[in-house]
Amino acid sequence: MRIRPRPALGAALLAGVATVALVGLPARADTSNPADAPTAVGDLGSCATGDTGAVLKPTATANTELTQAFRAFGNSGGGWANKGGWAASDGVYSAELPGHKVAWLMNDTFLGPVNADESMTEPGFIHGSILPAGRDGLPDTTITGGTQAAPESIASPPDGVDGDPWYWNADGIVDGGKLRVFQGRIGKTDGDPPWNFGWLGSDIVTYSKDFTVESIVRTYGEPGTVNWGNELVRCAGYTYIYGEKDSTMYVARARVGHLVDKDWDFWTGSSWSADPAAAGPLVPDLGASYSVTPVDGRFVLTTTSASIFTDHKIYVASAPTPVGPFTERTAVYTAPEGGVGNIYAPYNVAAHPAISKPGELIICYNVNSGNGDDLLADANNNRPRFVTIKLAKE
């Protein structure tokens, strides 16, 4: 199979078994019940930790244990007896499930088998998969749409024709008792390959306990506006939804249990507004994906710069609230793969708090190549690398 090289930067760059129904979104949810009503405009509740004077001193080291675990998982066939499960992918997000289990949410996915020398010969290819894991985060099998004999993407836009548009997932979270994952609709354009694709908007896909698609709803965001769902954080009765436009952070929030309702509030820079157009820019020069994670009373930003082809560093900043203000960023790690031949790294930084210890944060970044032959020659050129960041306070 000839692999079309493309920038596998996940949905944030532009930002099946079950029957799929495209569900219309209601206007605004009923807030007549005081227990359900949002707090006063501008109020961050207990999410404003008051830890305004704290300075973090982050240090980072390669987490070879997790990196090698994913390598071995892919080499062994991704948990499938026919060796045709997950072999490599990008867009490595994670969601904590009930019982502290983990679901790895993977974007463009190569399927095995992987050869003994870690090359791939005519691999299968789909636009998304899920890797269930235990509390330790180690994946044990591969979930796709279709069947193991004829696998398909884990989810696809209901209006797709011949695979266009397709989905790239962003972050996911359990909300209202269901795993809900932001999926960017990506479609072909008239641009020059490999950049002939574009973000068309985003849906939220709801999965059942066995990871079949239950429903799909259209959510906020369209070309030229903020691409939401880059990161999801639960805090004080709200789910904070991070987005990106022009490599800049934006923040919205939805009441817990109401993520799929068109009932969000948007941070203007000083207060909350029901108008999505009022969302204000917060942090510039972010990578295609970034994370904001509560750690020891701070909200920790992990990201690359926007210049992923020339800047191969991972940066850390922090804030006392989910909306900032964020400190100046500190470079903590340089991806050794970056700039070697056709390889570019790091990109699509994602944090994984469910498998992190107190006082530290496990993140991963993706690796890819401008030449598809590099991916066939070595599956590791499209597998995640993990890093452990220790976050001591000065």
**pLDDT digit string, tens, across residues 147-198:** 999 999 999 999 999 999 999 999 999 999 999 999 999 999 888 877 789 9
CATH 3.20.20.10 fits 15-22+49-393, yes or no: no
User: Does residue 256 contact residue 263 with C-beta atoms inside 8 Å?
Assistant: no
Tell me the sheet residues that pair with 188.
Answer: 197
- Chain centre distance of CA 393: 27
Q: Please give the helix or strand (H or E) that residue 362 lies within, else none.
A: strand 360-369
Distance CA 206, CA 260 (A): 9
Spatial strand order in the sheet of 248-255: 227-235, 238-245, 248-255, 265-267, 272-273
Global confidence as pTM: 0.90
Q: What is the pLDDT of residue 288?
A: 86
**H helix intervals, the chain:** 64-75, 372-377
Q: What is the pLDDT of residue 25?
A: 37
Sorted by where each begins, the domain ranges of the chain are 15-22+49-393
Q: Which parts of the chain have pLDDT scores under 50? A: 1-41
Please name which of 359, 263, 338, 270 lies closest in space to residue 29, comparing C-alpha atoms. 263
Determine how many CB atoms are found less than 10 A away from the CB of residue 140.
11
